[in-house]
Every structure is written in C-alpha cells, then in structure tokens.
Amino acid sequence: MRSHYSPDPKEMNLSEPVKIRLRDNGPMVIEGGVEITDADGNAFPTNPDKPVVALCRCGATKNRPFCDGAHNQCGFEAADRAPTE
Ligand code: FES
C-alpha cells in the first residue's frame, strides 16, 4: 500500500483542471490529483481518499508544507484577489 497520494495518470480526468484556491488569511487549498514533493522529488504522504490538500502560506505550521491551523494564531493576513477584468 502506498503511503502517499500519487494519482494514476490513466485515472485522472484531464478535462478538469486542478483547482488551487487561496483562503483568506489561511492556506492554499489544492483540489484535484496532485503529488507534492520535496526538492529531491520525494513525495509527502497524503490521504489517498481525500484528494484535497492545504498548503501553509503563513510559515507558522509545525507540519510543513501542510497547514495545521496555526495561521489562526499567528496574525497572518492575506486576502489576495485575482483581477476581475
Ligand atoms: S496557512 Fe495554515 S498554518 Fe500556515
């Protein structure tokens, strides 16, 4: 059994783009089949039954690169908006 989520390209619906959503004052939430690796190419373990991951943007997590909710206590503020025009 694999210890991390690694999407099988044959099972991926490539017509649906991976969605990355920036939460206000919080993490970057990635929805879709992705593999997150370190600089050496080794994959971080993720839950294969839940193809949604939240990556820390505040730098305060104790579970890098994932969000552990620490943004709620560190005063992180970010409410980035994409251009609407
Ligand atoms: S964004 Fe949640 S802990 Fe950093």
Per-residue pLDDT, 33: 81
Tens digits of residue pLDDT in 2-47: 444 455 555 556 667 899 999 999 999 999 888 999 999 999 998 8
Q: What is the pLDDT of residue 2?
A: 40
Residue 4 pLDDT = 45
Return the closest-CA partner of residue 36 out of 60, 58, 13, 63: 63
| pLDDT value of residue 13 | 60
Give pLDDT, residue 9.
53
DSSP annotation of 63 reads S
Q: Report which protein residue has its CA nearest ligand 1's atom 2.
A: 67
What is the CA(7)–ligand 1 centre distance, in A?
A: 25
Q: Where are the domains of the chain?
A: 1-85
Ligand 1 centroid–CA 60 distance in Å is: 6
Q: Which residues does ligand 1 sit against, CB inside 6 Å?
A: 26-27, 56-58, 60-61, 67-71
Q: In the prediction, which pLDDT does 1 show?
A: 37
